[in-house]
Structure 1
């Protein structure tokens, strides 16, 4: 029976010590050699220290052959008898069929703590990590490996760099095999980071334990923007225009695409507002405007949490304050860790690769896959057509089997809201118009005597008269795709819709207004003197630009995109709750060319 013997080595609290004596059944005395001090400790606090360090150099027990392991067992048992005095060295040599000298060597390697492993032969060849090249050459190899990065780097290119430096320094050039072996000794994840970049390497090698637990619909949404892998054409000329953007929202529990927003303009706070509104509210009006009775979209509700990335529109004061108002928590991903939004990122790829890449004009995400396919030449869908197609694709996705939830997203949604065969629905938002406007972009403006000055225009409504206060700034909500009216927030009255002061001005987007201002500055810098004249000149120029586009005389994509964006938004606004007001009924017909800055003309009439 093995026993702890005096002088045996142990580890206690990270320090080496030796056993001195037993003080009690569970307590011993040890001696700390480093600080030359005795301690009384519990036996369970000690970890045995192997005396024979040679066992550390022997290969893995589980990788040796059965024959070698059986030989080690025989030798360990025989040497153990010799150590106990049950046989002599000559008897040991005869039993093992070795010389006496070899028997003594085997007895010297015997380690009771290591067990039969101590009798395994040491691995042949040099020890791992031994360097035979001069230190100067090793240094040059190390520096070359650090310097050369990127997907184009090869073993041979690094060896060539080492060869050049060694020749310049008058040193012997190492073989390519030697340089390659130094590279292969690096951690595989580190090699991938140097060659492919941090993101790609992390996708393969970084540990990502844990899983977020979501127990019900609306517990968490994930939202993100993604450019569509397909080129659309404009409505008038049918020429290639651009790749639109989609802002998607997915319910993480059911995998339902609960809402989205398609746009020609790049993502901004308006895209976020429209997507949240589309997801949170019932979609009856939107479905009627879409005009396809086969599309069913019964999903809506207010979420508990929205997971987003760190884009500026997701960190805007408006988005954060509106979410806080409705008790919605915003959860931003850690920077550099896109897998925290893996559900929405996977959805982006699924829609682009599995659906959109089948359309004419698809860009196919890679020139290697695209080959000679001319995406611009093959494009044929307008934005209106694409929006209808996309709505049908979303319905298809929501009703296809999902391998993660083991059913379709629609079935998962219905299953949760069905109790004993009785179907229920999520709670409705009490004030949908206010909810929608709260997420809209805003600016602070003062209500002056002439109204609200914003974006180079004056806005006025009779309801503003009691609130004229030149020193008080108020929040003014606006739609960048339609600036004919704004919404001003009055604490005691909520939002008031305020149109252009000059009702003859036609509707336009901010981008159309900027283009019109630019054209006026270039061609008629002195055409407008007063503020009212400037507003009318901008409105007229925007109308002229629209006519030119309709007649296909403007070829710049910026102008055509601005026109398409404004036209598309005018169609989609019909289903938005906050525009269902009298102010929104301002006529869409071409404005009458009347200059309201001049006195009215007098006409003769019969009395």
Structure 2
């Protein structure tokens, strides 16, 4: 029987900057970094005994920051912050963005003057962001009034907004001072109270940069400032720009038990424009969604050692860290509000590709094409078109399971793609990436990218939110019931004095589609997450896509330095892995034919046995039931 420990988690969005002189936590000891070795290790000196030690980067944690002043938002779930809060975060982040790398007092004061904000306010915002490591540090502590409450009368507010629109956002580019004077004159004429200068400046600061430049400048200037060059779309350093996109894989895969075709998976890929390194991926049987985007971003940021060990691969994929910008298509999956919030909360700026501008996504589209060309050598391929496929039986020749294809993909990424010469950069993606991080004889590298202090917190930020009421038997999602004693206090009528006239409150839950044997429950009072397991402890760990396959079946049955030689060795392993999959498939089909029966999987048997408390047709619409349009 499986059990879930009573785990709880307070979100920690701090980032770790691995540079010489910084302090980090390792095995509950504090070390000062003295030397950077490679992508896996640094040298640190223990501040207590002064002993030097090699520190594995994947186990390094941020040091406790006792100077952080909690504004009430630091550990909040992103869905527990009001829309007005996110607007405030975006405005303030845009204001301090030019100052994030480094800025002198003079530069800060000049920038404050340029954007019409007092320099002490800008200092406070910058300090809040840097000390907490998250954009939620930009929010001010709540003081009485709710977000969105107007501080002035509606008729005064209308005068301010109309004057800003008609007398400030114009080509003549009048000064803020002249607009303030005009607003006050109009208020005097109507015998209204005069708004303060700061009130007017705050309204002006809410104007987006794009709207500001669009209304007050020429179209060419707007294009030059906000549009990347169409002829040469490049990046200046690693992780400055990352492109992401989806494709349906040109391959049929088979189920684990009967080795029969179950369709074509979807693949989400992310590429670093500077080095052309594949930084992340997400593989799923479900159509593209916000989940696909979020999980791909998490995969891109996290270190990959555990993932490679999981698939027993003796190789390296040394690409990780927070990126500055992500460039995407305009699909609904990328426009997901939760994805935008999660990116903003983690300091990632989303840029949407203008409609009809294919050059903005050229790198990722070429990568997808290159990857699918390799897939065309795998039995079960659909090829890229009917002419290539001809009369080839893709489903009949399919041999790889989902996990086997994922391993194939990892072999291709780590042993072949990243070490092949890329025509666009005249070297391999791995070498270009390494040079960008550590530098060359003639150029300086940027050093290690920032890494999340807690990968679990990062993952939770990007997981889809599900709102549910808590019933006596727990919480039901997709026909699965989750329960823990911590939920008892959230059951309607539990507390003495509970107002029975109120409807059941809904709470925020998050679930990882890769393992639905547990969910995360967010306690908005404690601002902590609790891990809640399934009520049926016999239920094994599985993904949402495995659950959907099983439910469909139940409905149907009613029941080192690398060179060309090393790359060829990678291909050899790739082909060997394919041959192994073919062999397993043939053996399994032969066994099924001899047995002449259609055995159900042990998982299915458990599910049917426990239909009453595990699976049923869920009439309540939720995030997993919504079909997402195919991504172009």
> How high is the TM-score relative to the length of structure 2?
0.47
User: Which of 1 and 2 has higher RCO (CA within 8 Å, sep 6+)?
Assistant: 2
Higher Cα radius of gyration:
1
TM-score normalised by L of structure 1: 0.49
